[in-house]
């Protein structure tokens, strides 16, 4: 069965610092990849997604992620974080032939002003 | 406004109670999901419905009973729960592959926070 690992459980950064959150998945077949964000008290919302093509995908609010197939990774990056980026970030993977997504345990990002 | 509405937002129940969680999606999707979100754990898939038919049951205990009367509504009936069932229960919906929103993208509700005493 597919599993998703997010290595950082809690990250604390100052504003303007660069961000990279790790995500690795286990299944080696064709996958679709997602990053979701959950702001305090709000619902999970899509940050960005990868289906095919250019492995560097850009999402909302200046976030981007790079799919490295050989490493089974889909790391999330942002060059300069803002206080408003404080949230929990979830990596998710969809295997072909399955409707549901498999999620990682999440990374809580705290940005200090 | 997410397009996926969950009620109630908060629920406290005893172990012998029977209650239900409700989810309604206004996005015209045909697949609906229940996930369980517990602190410091990955979101756990519970059930998947596609065109009102259950297509996945992720070994969920029978004290959780889903119901999907149509593609827009999803219920989770709760009976004889345990304190460890306390969590945030998330409903989501999606469209089939190739349509707007992309293959597999889930749209989530705000969740129902359940506390079992």
Q: What is the pLDDT of residue A78?
A: 98
Residue to substitute from A3, A101, A102, A107, interface B, most B β-carbons within 10 A: A101
Of B25, B23, B42, nearest to B101 by C-alpha is B25
Residue A101 · residue A2 · CB < 8 Å: no
Asked if B45's CB is within 8 angstroms of A102's CB, the reply is yes
Residues of chain B with pLDDT under 70: 1, 96-103
Taking the CB of residue B55, how many other CB atoms lie within 10 A of it? 13
Asked if A39 has any chain B CB less than 8 Å from its own CB, the reply is no
What are residue A33's DSSP bridge partners?
A50, A93
Average pLDDT over residues A16-37: 93
| Chain A neighbors of B45, CB-CB under 8 A | 100-102
CA angle A91, A95, A96 (to 5 degrees): 140
Q: Which residue has the higher pLDDT, A97 or A38?
A: A38
What tens digit of pLDDT does each residue of A63-77 get? Answer: 999 999 999 999 999
> What is the rounded distance in angstroms from the CA atom of residue A92 to the CA atom of residue A11?
19
Exposure of A34 in the CB half-sphere (CA atoms within 13 A): 23
Q: What is the pLDDT of residue B97?
A: 58
CA Rg value for chain A: 13
Residue with tokens 């709000």: A42
């Amino acid at each position: 069965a597919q599993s998703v690992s997010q290595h950082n459980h809690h990250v604390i950064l100052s504003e303007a610092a660069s961000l990279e959150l790790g995500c690795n998945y286990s299944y080696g077949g064709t996958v679709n990849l997602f990053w979701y964000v959950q702001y305090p008290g709000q619902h999970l919302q899509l940050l960005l997604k990868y289906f095919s093509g250019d492995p560097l995908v850009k999402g909302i609010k200046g976030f981007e992620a790079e799919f490295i197939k050989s490493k089974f990774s889909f790391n999330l990056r942002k060059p300069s974080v803002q206080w408003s980026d404080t949230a929990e970030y979830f990596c998710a993977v969809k295997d072909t032939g399955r409707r549901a997504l498999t999620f990682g345990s999440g990374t809580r990002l705290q940005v200090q002003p | 406004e997410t397009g996926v509405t969950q009620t109630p937002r908060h629920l406290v129940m005893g172990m012998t109670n029977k209650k239900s969680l409700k989810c309604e999606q206004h996005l015209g999707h045909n697949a609906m999901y229940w996930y369980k979100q517990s602190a410091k754990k990955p979101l756990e898939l519970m059930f998947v419905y596609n065109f009102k038919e259950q297509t996945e049951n992720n070994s969920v205990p029978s004290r959780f009973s889903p119901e999907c009367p149509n593609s827009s509504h999803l219920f989770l009936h709760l009976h004889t729960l345990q304190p460890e069932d306390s969590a945030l229960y998330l409903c989501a919906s999606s469209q089939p592959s190739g349509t707007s929103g992309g293959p597999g993208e889930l749209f989530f509700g705000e969740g129902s926070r359940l506390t079992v005493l």
